[in-house]
Amino acid sequence: MSGFPALTSGHRPVGVVSFAQHDNVRRDGEHNDVEMLLPVIAEVFGNVGITKDDVGFICSGSTDYLVGGPFSFVGALDAVGVWPPRAESHVEMDGAWALYEAWVLLQEGEIDSALVYSFGRSSPGNLSEILALQLDPYYMAPLWPDPCSLAALQAQALIDTGRASEADFAAVAARARRSALGNPKAQLAYDRSPEELLREDYEVAPLRRHALPPLTDGCAAIVLAAGDRAYELCERPAFITGIDHRVETHALGARDLTRSASTTLAGQKAGVGKAGVDVAELHAPFAHQELILVDALGLADDVEVSPSGGALAANPIMSAGLIRIGEASTRIWSGLADRAVAHATSGPCLQQNLVCVLEGV
């Protein structure tokens, strides 16, 4: 045991001690949600030699619209086996927010560990249409704008400021997919030059195919443990030294799309700038959004960004944010990083953002 990192006064040290994710695939037409989760839950417990009966709280993240039936999270509980009855909750959000809820509960000291998981599939329905239902139901949803079209509005606004160009987007995509070559869970990985990528057609101008995330089926799970329990389960826990999330207005025309004010604020509250950052796993589904996020978090040039390939390499909806926290944690466990930042986003054009600072001792 090596002690705990410095924390905000009154906070309890809580660490990520285990992480598992499903293979990220374009379409799993074979398994249902429970069957996809079963091996992931087994792995996340198996990694640290515990069972479902050892955790004090369970929290999941998912959304009903992906498969077109209400209460999808209810059936998914069967992948855990909540018997005898368990303290359990669910957010209709990315699993990163389920992790936040568990972290809050762990702060109170009654429990020492928690299971967090999330699941979601892009393949059962048409995600471009489904996500339009997240928009203002009177003014925007009736027009059925798809996420790529809205992201492209954001990208164009960024180009208009002169702070970035299509070539910058291609450079982000090329680096992310090259990094993904080293990630066995990546769905989309290649070694292609930005110049080559810029020859692709527009999907929605100014975004070309390379600037878009893949459509992914997947799920993920994390075990959190507090205090000494973290060291019992993990040699070098990834302690959460700051975590915060903020939301912006839904009205795209009332926001500065070229800045992520909510990420900046969450990053400040989480203490990103208090010390140097070795690695940042950013949930930027579209290439230009990584540029906005790096800027919003004030990350220095030497910070390694999304070594997993990020959401451009695999974007399992409702899990891609939680996976960023998992990926950043693996860097702490292995000693490749001492201080990491993980980020999750939700809503069109980076409407809601969570920032988590992870440190090893």
Partner 1 sequence: MADEGVHYSADHVLEYPYVRSVGPTVGAFLTGLRDGKVVGIRGTGGRVIVPPTEYDPDTGDETTDVVDVGPEGVVTSWSWVPRPRPKHPLQTPFAWILVRFDGADTSFLHVMPASGPDEVATGMRVRPEFAPEAERVGHVNDILHFVAVGGGA
Partner 2 sequence: MSEPVTMMAAPMRLDYVFTPGVAQGKNMHGLERGVFIGQRCPKCKKVYTLSRGSCPTDGVPTDEIVELSNTGTVTTYCVVNVPFAGQSIELPYICAQILLDGANLSFMGLIQEIPAGEIRMGLRVEAVWVPPDELGPTMASVKYFRPNGEPDAAFETYKEYL
Partner 3 sequence: MSERCAVIGIGQTVAKSKREDVSIAGLVREAVVMAVEDAGLTFADIDAVVVGKAPDMFEGVMMPELYLAGALGAVGKPMMRVHTAGSVGGSTAIVASHLVASGIHDRVLTVAFEKQSDSDAMWALSVPQPFSSPLLAGAGGYFAPIIRAYMHRSGAPRDVGMKVAVKDRLHALKNPYAHLHLPDISLQMVEDSIMLWDPLHYLESCPSSDGAAAMVIGSERAAAQAETDTGRRPAWIHGMAMRSEPTMFAGRDQVNPQAGRDCAADLYRQAGISDPRADFDMAEVYVPFSWYEPMWLENLGFCAEGDGWKLTEAGATSLIDGGDIPWNCSGGVLSSNPIGASGMLRFLETALQIRGEAGEHQVPDARRALGQAYGGGSQFFSMWVVAVDKP
The residues that touch partner 2, with contacts defined as CB under 8 A, are 28-32, 34-35, 38, 41-42, 52, 65, 67-68, 75, 77-81, 83, 123-126, 129-130, 133, 137-138, 141-142
Distance, in Å, from the CA atom of 38 to the CA atom of 85, rounded to the nearest integer, reads 19
SS3 291: helix
Q: Which residues pair with 245 in a beta bridge?
A: 354
Report the residue from 47, 134, 156, 268 that binds partner 3 according to the rule CB under 8 A: 134
Question: Bridge partners of 114?
Answer: 57, 224
- Listed ranges 65-73, 144-152, 167-175, 206-214: which one lies at the site for partner 3 (CB under 8 A): 65-73
DSSP summary character for residue 103: H
Closest distance of CB 331 from partner 3, Å: 26
Q: Using CB distances below 5 to 8 A depending on partner kind, what does residue 165 bind out of partner 3, partner 2, partner 1, none?
A: none
> Distance between CA atoms of 237 and 18, rounded to whole angstroms?
9
Pick one of 53, 92, 110, 129: the residue that binds partner 1 (CB under 8 A). 129
Q: How far is the CB of 27 from partner 2 (least distance, A)?
A: 9
Q: Find out whether 248 and 351 touch, Cβ atoms under 8 Å.
A: yes
Cβ proximity of 187 and 313 under 8 Å: yes
* Shortest distance in whole angstroms from residue 82 CB to partner 2: 8
> Mask of contacts with partner 3, 44-63, x by CB under 8 A?
--------------x----x
Alpha carbons within 13 A on the beta-carbon side of 199: 4
Match 């209400």 to its residue by tokens: 70
Query: Is residue 81 a contact residue for partner 3 (CB under 8 A)?
Result: yes
Cβ partners under 8 Å of residue 200, min gap 6: 208, 209, 210
The verdict on 26 binding partner 3 (CB under 8 A) reads: no
Q: Which stretch binds partner 1 (CB under 8 A): 80-88, 89-97, 135-143, 280-288?
A: 135-143
Q: Is 162 in the site for partner 1 (CB under 8 A)?
A: no
Q: Which of 123, 125, 102, 98 has its CA nearest to residue 113?
A: 102
Q: State the binding partner of 153 from partner 3, partner 1, partner 2, none, CB within 5 to 8 A by kind.
A: partner 1
Q: Give, as one character, the DSSP assignment of residue 64.
A: G
CB of 72 within 8 A of CB of 125? Answer: no
Cβ(5)–Cβ(13) below 8 Å:
yes
Cβ proximity to partner 1: between 74 and 205 the closer is 205
> Measured between alpha carbons, how far is 192 from 194 in angstroms, rounded to an integer?
7
Residue 250 interacts with partner 1 (CB under 8 A): yes or no: yes
142 belongs to the binding site for partner 1 (CB under 8 A): yes
- Residue 115's contacts (CB-CB under 8 Å, 6 or more residues apart) are 41, 44, 45, 52, 55, 57, 58, 59, 80, 102, 221, 222, 223
b/e for 218-235, b at 16 or more Cβ within 10 A?
A: bbbbbbbbbbebbbbbbe
Q: Does 265 bind partner 3 (CB under 8 A)?
A: yes
User: Of 16-24, 102-110, 196-204, 212-220, which part binds partner 1 (CB under 8 A)?
Assistant: 196-204
By a kind-dependent CB cut-off of 5 to 8 A, residue 41 interacts, out of partner 2, partner 3, partner 1, none, with partner 2
Q: Which does 346 bind (CB under 5 to 8 A by kind): partner 1, partner 3, partner 2, none?
A: partner 3
Residue 28 partner contact from partner 2, partner 1, partner 3, none using kind-dependent CB cut-offs of 5 to 8 Å: partner 2
Among 10, 84, 85, 137, interactor with partner 1 by CB under 8 A: 137
- Positions that interact with partner 3 (CB under 8 A): 10, 58, 63-65, 68-71, 73-75, 77-78, 81-93, 97, 100-101, 104-105, 107-110, 130-131, 133-138, 141, 244-251, 254, 261-262, 265, 346-347, 351-352
